[in-house]
Amino acid sequence: MVNEVCFRTLHCDRPWRLETYQSEGGYEALKMILAEKTPQEDIIEMVKQSGLRGRGGAGFPTGLKWGFINRTAPGEKYVVVNSDEGEPGTFKDRDILRYNPHALIEGILICGYAIGAATGYNYIRGEFWEPYERFEEAVTEAREAGLLGDNILDSGFGFQIHTHLGSGAYICGEETALLESLEGKKGQPRFKPPFPAMFGLYGRPTVINNTETLASVPDIVRRGADWFREIGVPNSGGPKLFSVSGNVVRPGNYEVPMGIPFAELLEMAGGMREGKRCKAVIPGGSSVPVLPGEIMMDVTMDYESIEKVGSMLGSGAVIVMDDSNCMVKVLERIAYFYYEESCGQCTPCREGTGWMYRVIHRIENGTGRQEDLDLLDDVAKKIMGRTICALGDAAAMPVASFIQHFRDEFQYHIDHKKCMV
């Protein structure tokens, strides 16, 4: 079973249109809720039961997050969508926005209804112009069809959705940095607690969810929590979009049940290019630890299995590398990315990411020193868990894991001042 939820219109002509979405059962969940006046807590409970976990990377249970909102508190509450897709290797939300924007809109509305919010913001990264236009068209369509705006379908429930565009900063994918950015500031993560559920956008209670997470919600409501949960495996409910990139024959997004063996996913992506060996895989976006190909071949794609072998499912971005890749060079590029994208707010990340990059850079360029690998390990350890947000960890984990799994290659660079690949 593929493309059942977020991609369920993908087989249709012009899959992004309202009529296409409705022909696939779109907005039935919303209509049902509004018609039956489903109690808010029932919806939250349903989302909890579905086993849906945050698809942006952290994997936090979505229903739990919604439940944290004090629904009876007076004043505004907000739904914010994190469409600031920027984790290297990840390109799934772009396709949801381009091909099934109505699923997201319906998901936002259901969330808004469940937490008692009347306004939602979709924060789309600034480079995503085509997805932005698609989403805006869909919002217009929905509004014209009476599915969005004041008094939706005469139910008394009203909701507005606004799109906000980013301007180029990976850190804004971090939920509190995104909120800061939406408030017109630099995207610097906030210290937590308080979490957005208490103190979110404009200081108000806020649910902030990834695009894929919210786009999964309508089907949970329409087809039931059990239906959704049982697609996956225990603790990893539902299907998930995997963005497969790198040295594979058919890179792309695959919406498949969680728990699918990696080997099968690789097969769907056409296998390795030119029949080469799968040397290494980053299974969840550049922030998670790398794993050697041979380990990956025995792993299933769900939260627990990947954690067991020392990495994370993350955003579901699977970067596949064959044996023509130099691991030092790959790590150098990843380290450069975090150095470039550190917001600069807290000390270990601001100072440590540049330090790590420079050390890896000199190893890659033949001026590495014998003590460098221990130094890198130690610097990574001193960043890990010491920063306000997870970017510090994200910068540290690749470094530690690349050295752990490919130490020989790094040592060879240092000893011979050249690459072994």
The residue (of 225 and 395) whose beta carbon lies closer to other proteins is 395
SS3 118: coil
Closest CA to 386 of 353, 358, 354: 353
Question: Which DSSP category does 195 fall into?
Answer: P
Site string for other proteins, 154-193 (x = CB under 8 A): --------x-xxxxxxxx---------xxxxxxx--xx--
Work out how close the CB of 219 gets to other proteins at its nearest, in angstroms, rounded to a whole number.
Answer: 23
The residue (of 128 and 410) whose beta carbon lies closer to other proteins is 128
Identified binder of other proteins from the candidate list 20, 90, 206, 300, rule CB under 8 A: 90
Q: What part of residues 53-82 is at the interface with other proteins (CB under 8 A)?
A: 76
- Separation CA 321–CA 341 (nearest Å): 23
**Is 402:182 a contact under the CB 8 Å cutoff?**
no
The residue (of 107 and 187) whose beta carbon lies closer to other proteins is 187
Question: Which DSSP category does 42 fall into?
Answer: H
What distances in angstroms separate CA 340 from CA 15, 152, 166, 245, 326, one per listed residue?
37, 44, 17, 22, 21
Q: Does residue number 215 form part of the binding site for other proteins (CB under 8 A)?
A: no
Q: Does residue number 313 form part of the binding site for other proteins (CB under 8 A)?
A: no
Instruction: Write the secondary structure of 86-98 as one string of H (helix), E (strand) and C (coil).
Output: CCCCCCHHHHHHH
The residue (of 62 and 387) whose beta carbon lies closer to other proteins is 387
Work out how close the CB of 374 gets to other proteins at its nearest, in angstroms, rounded to a whole number.
Answer: 10
The residue (of 44 and 109) whose beta carbon lies closer to other proteins is 109
Q: How far is CA 182 from the centre of its chain?
A: 18
Choices 40-48, 91-99, 291-299, 401-409; region in contact with other proteins by CB under 8 A: 91-99
Work out how close the CB of 337 gets to other proteins at its nearest, in angstroms, rounded to a whole number.
Answer: 6
The residue (of 263 and 375) whose beta carbon lies closer to other proteins is 375
Q: Does residue number 284 form part of the binding site for other proteins (CB under 8 A)?
A: no
Work out how close the CB of 4 gets to other proteins at its nearest, in angstroms, rounded to a whole number.
Answer: 20
Identified binder of other proteins from the candidate list 33, 34, 53, 87, rule CB under 8 A: 87
- Separation CA 226–CA 235 (nearest Å): 13
Work out how close the CB of 382 gets to other proteins at its nearest, in angstroms, rounded to a whole number.
Answer: 4
Work out how close the CB of 52 gets to other proteins at its nearest, in angstroms, rounded to a whole number.
Answer: 22
Number of Cβ within 10 Å of residue 51's Cβ equals 24
Q: Does residue number 103 form part of the binding site for other proteins (CB under 8 A)?
A: no
The residue (of 126 and 224) whose beta carbon lies closer to other proteins is 126
The residue (of 5 and 359) whose beta carbon lies closer to other proteins is 359
- Residue 209, strand partner residues: 81
- Residue 261, strand partner residues: 300
- Separation CA 355–CA 343 (nearest Å): 15
Residue 58 class from Cβ within 10 Å (0-12 exposed, 13-18 middle, 19+ buried)?
middle
Q: Does residue number 99 form part of the binding site for other proteins (CB under 8 A)?
A: no
The residue (of 3 and 155) whose beta carbon lies closer to other proteins is 3
The residue (of 31 and 362) whose beta carbon lies closer to other proteins is 362
Task: Please count the residues of this chain forming the interface with other proteins, following the rule CB under 8 A.
Answer: 81
Identified binder of other proteins from the candidate list 41, 130, 294, 415, rule CB under 8 A: 130
Q: What part of residues 345-404 is at the interface with other proteins (CB under 8 A)?
A: 345-348, 350-355, 358, 375, 382, 385-388
SS3 82: strand
Identified binder of other proteins from the candidate list 50, 211, 236, 247, rule CB under 8 A: 247
What distances in angstroms separate CA 278 from CA 249, 322, 399, one per listed residue?
12, 5, 20
For 216-270, strand residue ranges (E) read: 239-246, 252-257, 260-261
Identified binder of other proteins from the candidate list 16, 27, 113, 128, rule CB under 8 A: 128
Work out how close the CB of 269 gets to other proteins at its nearest, in angstroms, rounded to a whole number.
Answer: 10
Site string for other proteins, 318-337 (x = CB under 8 A): -x-x---x---xx--xx--x
Q: What part of residues 1-30 is at the interface with other proteins (CB under 8 A)?
A: none
Number of Cβ within 10 Å of residue 158's Cβ equals 13
- Separation CA 321–CA 330 (nearest Å): 10
- Separation CA 397–CA 311 (nearest Å): 9
The residue (of 223 and 273) whose beta carbon lies closer to other proteins is 273
What distances in angstroms separate CA 344 from CA 188, 201, 296, 297, 375, one per listed residue?
8, 22, 34, 38, 22
**Is 320:267 a contact under the CB 8 Å cutoff?**
no
